[in-house]
Structure 1
Amino acid sequence: MLDRLDHALRARPGLPAVLTATRTGAPRVHTTRGELAELSDAFAAALHARGLRAGDTVGVAVRPGPRALAVLLALWRLGLRGAVLDPGTGPDVLRARLALARPSLVLADAAAQAVAGWARPLARRARLALPDLAELGPVATVGRRLPGCAPALDPAAPRAGVPVHGDCDGDAVIVFTSGTTSRPRAVVHTRSGLAAGMSAVASLIDPAPDRPVLGGTFFVLVPALTGGAPVALPAGRPRVLARQLHRLRPQDTYLTPPRLRDALDAGARFHGRVWTGSAPAGAGLLERVRDAGAAQAWGVYALTELFPAAAVEAREKSAFDGAGDLVGAPLPGVLAEPDADGQLLLSGPAARDRYLGEEPDPWIRTGDRARLDGAGRIVLEGRCKDMVLRRAENIYPGLYEPALQVPGVELAVLVGVPAGDGDERLVAVVQPQRGATEDALRAALAEPVRRMGSARPDALLFARIPLSGRSRKPDRAATATLAAQRLAPPA
């Protein structure tokens, strides 16, 4: 699909590719299709001029958007392997990841380098910490170069003789996931696997040409632009995002669940289809999106190792009355089956090839407990590692958390808090929606809690649930710590 995207950009160079929003939400052309193609050509020529060749690894610390997409197109053209580096992971984690990936060059924009070097005092105030710039190894600046940044990629590098890697397979991208500083873990996708994943997204969404799509991720940009649709990057402020949605009326919108909630709280109205993933999205949230004007509201089940795996629309999810969280039928080509311990295993053409430093494995161990219902749909029953042990009984929060999503609840998680002697207390931590009162929520939750039987929580707390990572998922460890502090007896 990246090859098709390259051809599509050059076929209609004058049309808008990427849009941004003004403060009033009005769309503004950020990059045309021809400018995006020209930028990827310039990056490819500069990388080739530096002596990088197919199979080499390039670290990428560039904010999502057209510039990052142009970098990935250049890497694809040359057969280079991109290692995605997150500037916010902290110095120890980043050092370990660099040691594992061993990039020949790191491409970083000014923002990433600011955190690592010349704006370190501001970064400390934001609780961000990275190694000194010199510790990153050879660095080249992508985009605007500010004082203190590394030298820029050569914009005048000769274009003649720059190779095209073509249809040869090989590693395409490294994405770091779990692990520790002593043993980081990274997902490796091949060119064929990445192409299969983007094709799966394109067949699922199938955007119409010339009508805008709103979203900023790689898996939104590539299929939409290939199909001829301009992509609008979501505004950062919820109120501006709400105005942007009103003015743009996108045919498809992709936002994470936290951003959807923020937009809804800001009074956003939706149009066309809305897609959400990267964090749990309950039936209540999807129905709120439909009530706010969306023709369809979809939850997408995806992992770093396989994107996408399954999808479910709001009406199907709301009609499900079984235990657990319905995430939908596996998408075409995706194989799903629980192992002997109930952990969901996935495989398919879009699955990662391997973890860096390990042998290839066709099956992905998701870490999710799950079952397949009579229709072959995936029903999640919680994370394997999220199990709470109470009175010698294993309790999997994912089985019961959907029942806590009553009207007025923004988020709800079940966590274990140590109770001594290896036992745990089960605590429900509930984040109310704006305007919902605790008394009303206690009354609304009384029956769902009663129906939890032996998994009934020992305590119910109302609090804002900590989030973590770029996808802003509930941070269970931090939530458990919060619950323990709230439940601790006064000194």
Structure 2
Amino acid sequence: MLDRLDRALRTAPHLPAVLGTGPGGAVRTRATRGDLADLADRYAAGLLARGVHRGGTVGVAVRPGPRALAVLLAADRIGARVAVLDPAAGPEVLRARLALARPDLVVADALAQAAAGRGRALAERAGIVLPDLADLGTVATVGPQWPGCAPALAAGHAPLPRREEGDGDAVIVFTSGTTARPRAVVHTRSSLAAGMTAVADLVRPTPGVPVLGGTLFVLVPSLTAGAPVALPARSSRALARQVRRLAPQATYLTPPQLRAALDRGARFTGRVWTGSAPASAELLTRVRAAGAVEAWGVYALTELFPAAAVEQADKAAFGGTGDLVGHPLPGVSATVSAEGELVLSGPAARHRYLGAAPDPRVATGDRAALDRGRIVLAGRLKDMVLRRAENIYPGLYEPALHVPGVELALLVGVPAADGDERLVAVVQPARGASPAAVRAALGGVLDRMGSARPDAVLLGDIPLSGRSRKPDRAATAELAAAHRPRPAR
């Protein structure tokens, strides 16, 4: 798929690739297809000049968009793989991920570097907290350079090698594990291509008609088909205005983005797709009522994207127990283990977890049942909390909550009124510890948690269970739901 995209960009270089809005909200071209191809070539030459070669690893701390896509194309061009470094994960977690991936070079934009340097305050307001620049290793800058940024990823003089043939590692995406033992998904070129082909077959983009969405699984199939893309606006007001002016054929937004746009009176065109978090029948129905021709919920995992999809009419008509997420997509096999866990496999499944042996089966951690071949979810077996379309794994962050004066600490998810989850830190002070002192000690830790910063902190005794008297997560979540904990300021 990346090869196809590279050829497609060069076939019609004058056509728009990335759209934006100009003065008065007029739609304008931010980058042509030729611009994107040229950028990928310059980045490929720059990677070679900085010592990254076939089989190497490029860490990428770049916000989603054309530059991130160009880095992926550049790495693919020279036979290297990309390790996605989420700047919002927090410094301790990111250090551990860097130690596992061991990138030859970290490519970062100015905002990511600001989080690791003199612009930390600005970046923290954007939810980005990185380690110090020295901890990132060798860094190169893409995009505009701010004062204090690393040198630019400048083009070198060496000719680009012949394109890599055959399969091989394409991308590493971190998903879970403790701070000391991060867990990462490794996709090969073939599994990445299978997932993107599945998206293209599901959506069937029409050439020349705009698509609204910002992830690689939107950008690559859309641009390959000849459809220009626009990145979703950050504010809900601007997003609603953007949907109206673009009139996209397909819109990809997370459920929180959809709810925010709908609250601003957004009117949709074409088909709307949502995923990365549970999408209720009520939400999809609101989208249809706001003008969408179809509204789809997509069930996907980092390990296998996409896995299943369901349209609003089918979801609204489902009268069974659980969350209907639809039929497995072509090529995806779904089974349920004896323990009730959904297990998936197929060409788009990840090759392995980094450091582990290849495994064709993806144990999802979701309880599920099959209803006439359709997947119906019945809750999560894992401890993961899903908030604002982001996976938050408590084991990554709980150790840091054990500051002086804290005896036990858990992070739990509590259902919110809008169908999302709130993240609550339940902290049990040690006997005799001052609650005010505990809250003060937690302040710095919470500031370093990035996108996993809890919505609220509850001080109290954590329920225990079993002969070993382990902390009871389910009971702790019920305790948090029954109280109104103080916001984590």
Q: Partner of 2:394 in structure 1?
A: none
Deviations 1:202-221 (A, max 9, x none): 10111010001110110000
| Aligned-partner residue type, residue 36 of structure 2 | L
Distance 1:474 1:250 in 2: 34
Give the 3 Å change call, closer, same or farther, for CA 427–168 of structure 1 in structure 2: closer
Instruction: Give the CA deviation at 1:473.
Output: 13
| 1:289-321 per-position Cα deviation (integer Å, ceiling 9, x unaligned) | 000000000000000000000000000001100
Match of 2:84 in 1: 84
Q: 1:482 to 1:29 in 2, by over 3 A?
A: farther
Name the % identity. Answer: 66
Q: Compute the displacement of 1:153 (Å).
A: 1.1
Count of paired positions: 420
Q: Aligned to 2:175, which of 174, 177, 181?
A: 177
Amino acid at match of 1:93: V
> What is the CA distance between 1:21 and its match in structure 2?
2.8
Written as runs of structure 1 = structure 2, the 5 A alignment for 1:111-130 is: 111-123=111-123, 128-130=128-130
Structure 1 residue 88: Cα displacement: 1.4
CA contact (8 A) 2:349 2:362 kept: yes
Structure 2 counterparts to residues 469-480 of structure 1, below 5 A: none
Matched ranges for 1:30-69 at <5 A? 30-69=30-69
* Cα separation, 2, equivalents of 1:54 and 1:201: 28
Matches of 1:130 and 1:235, distance apart in 2: 24
How many angstroms apart in 2 are the aligned matches of 1:208 and 1:221? 14
1:309 to 307, 310, 315: 307
* One-letter code aligned to 1:146: W
Query: Could you tell me which of 219, 222, 230 is aligned with 2:220?
Result: 222
Cα 1:248/1:473, change in 2 over 3 Å: farther
Q: Say which SS state the counterpart of residue 75 (structure 2) adopts.
A: helix
Letter of the 2:79 counterpart? G
For 1:54 and 1:427, locate their aligned partners in 2 and report how far apart those are by CA, in whole Å.
42
Distance 1:196 1:266, change over 3 A: same
- Tell me the residue number matched to 1:71: 71
Give the secondary-structure state (helix, strand or coil) at the position aligned to 2:344.
strand
Q: Is the 8 A contact 1:258 1:472 kept in 2?
A: no
1:9 aligns with 2:6: no
1:48-447 correspondence runs (5 A): 48-123=48-123, 128-155=128-155, 157-158=156-157, 161-373=159-371, 375-385=372-382, 429-431=415-417
Work out the CA distance in 2 between the residues paired with 1:281 and 1:13.
37
Structure-2 separation of matches of 1:229 and 1:471: 35
* Residues 455-470 of structure 1 mapped to structure 2, 5 A cutoff: 465-466=422-423
In 2, are the aligned partners of 1:110 and 1:146 still within 8 Å (CA)? Answer: yes
In structure 2, C-alpha distance between the alignment counterparts of 1:139 and 1:320, rounded to whole Å: 51
Residue identity in the other structure for 2:107? L
**Distance in 2 of aligned mates of 1:376 and 1:474:** 38
Cα distance in 2 for partners of 1:143, 1:202 equals 29
Describe the superposition over 1:77-125 as per-residue Cα deviations: whole angstroms up to 9, x where unpaired: 1110100001111111011000000001000000100001121234456
Q: SS of 1:385's equivalent? A: coil
Confirm or deny: 8 A CA contact 2:111 2:123 kept in the other structure. Answer: no
CA shift digits 1:131-158 (9 cap, x unpaired):
1101110001111111100111123x22
1:386 Cα offset (Å)? 5.7
In structure 1, stretches of 5+ residues that fail to align are 388-396, 399-425, 434-462
User: Who is 2:433 aligned against?
Assistant: none
Q: Which residue of 1 aligns with 2:461?
A: none
- The question of whether the paired residues in 1 share the 8 Å contact of 2:237 and 2:261 is answered with yes
* 2:389 aligned partner: none
Q: Does the Cα contact within 8 Å between 1:25 and 1:241 map onto a contact in 2?
A: no
Paired residues of 2:117 and 2:132 also in contact (CA < 8 A): yes
Q: 2:254 touches 2:275 (CA, 8 Å); kept in 1? A: yes
Alignment-derived partner of residue 442 in structure 1 = none
Once the two structures are superposed, what CA deviation does each residue of 1:429-458 show, in whole Å capped at 9, x if it has no partner?
Answer: 44269xxxxxxxxxxxxxxxxxxxxxxxxx
- Match for 1:36: what amino acid? L
Q: In 2 relative to 1, CA 182–273 (structure 1 residues): closer, same or farther, beyond 3 Å?
A: same
Helix, strand or coil for the counterpart of 1:172?
strand
- Would the aligned equivalents of 1:278 and 1:473 in 2 still touch at CA under 8 Å? no
CA–CA distance in 2 between the matches of 1:432 and 1:299? 16
Normalised to the residue count of structure 2, the TM-score between the two structures is: 0.81
**In the aligned structure 2, how far is the partner of 1:385 from the partner of 1:236?**
30
Kept in 1, the 8 Å contact 2:89–2:452? The answer is no
- Distance of 1:360 and 1:139 partners within structure 2: 31
Query: CA separation in 2, counterparts of 1:134 and 1:471?
Result: 24
Distance 1:94 1:230 in 2: 33
Give the partner amino acid of 2:57.
T
Q: CA deviation at 1:266?
A: 0.2
Contact 2:249–2:269 (Cα < 8 Å) also in 1: yes
Aligned residue for 1:20, secondary structure, equals strand
Secondary structure of the residue aligned to 1:346 is strand
Query: CA contact under 8 A between 2:87 and 2:112: conserved in structure 1?
Result: yes
> Cα deviation per residue 1:273-294 (whole Å; 9 max; x = unaligned)?
0000000000000000000000
Of 479-488 and 116-125, the range deviating more from structure 2: 479-488
Q: Given the two structures, how large is their TM-score scaled by the length of structure 1? A: 0.80
Unaligned residue ranges in structure 2 (runs of 5+): 387-411, 425-448, 457-472
Please identify, of 162-171 and 332-341, the stretch whose mean Cα deviation from structure 2 is larger: 162-171
8 A contact 1:238–1:262 mirrored in 2:
yes
2:378 maps to a residue whose letter is E
For residues 200 and 464 of structure 1, what CA distance do their matches in structure 2 show?
29
For 1:79 and 1:319, the matched residues in 2 are separated by: 47
- Tell me, yes or no, if the aligned pair for 2:299 and 2:308 is still in contact at 8 Å: yes
Q: CA RMSD in A?
A: 2.9
Structure 1, residues 218-274: CA drift from partner, whole Å, max 9, x if none?
Answer: 000000000000001111111111111111110000000000000000000000100
Alignment partners' CA distance in 1, 2:236 and 2:210: 19
For 2:66, give the aligned amino acid: P
More displaced stretch, 16-25 vs 190-199: 16-25
Classify the secondary structure of the residue corresponding to 1:245. helix
Which string of whole-angstrom CA distances, capped at 9 and with x for unpartnered residues, describes residues 187-211 of structure 1? 0000111111111111011101000
Q: Note if contact 1:274-1:294 (Cα within 8 Å) is conserved in structure 2.
A: yes
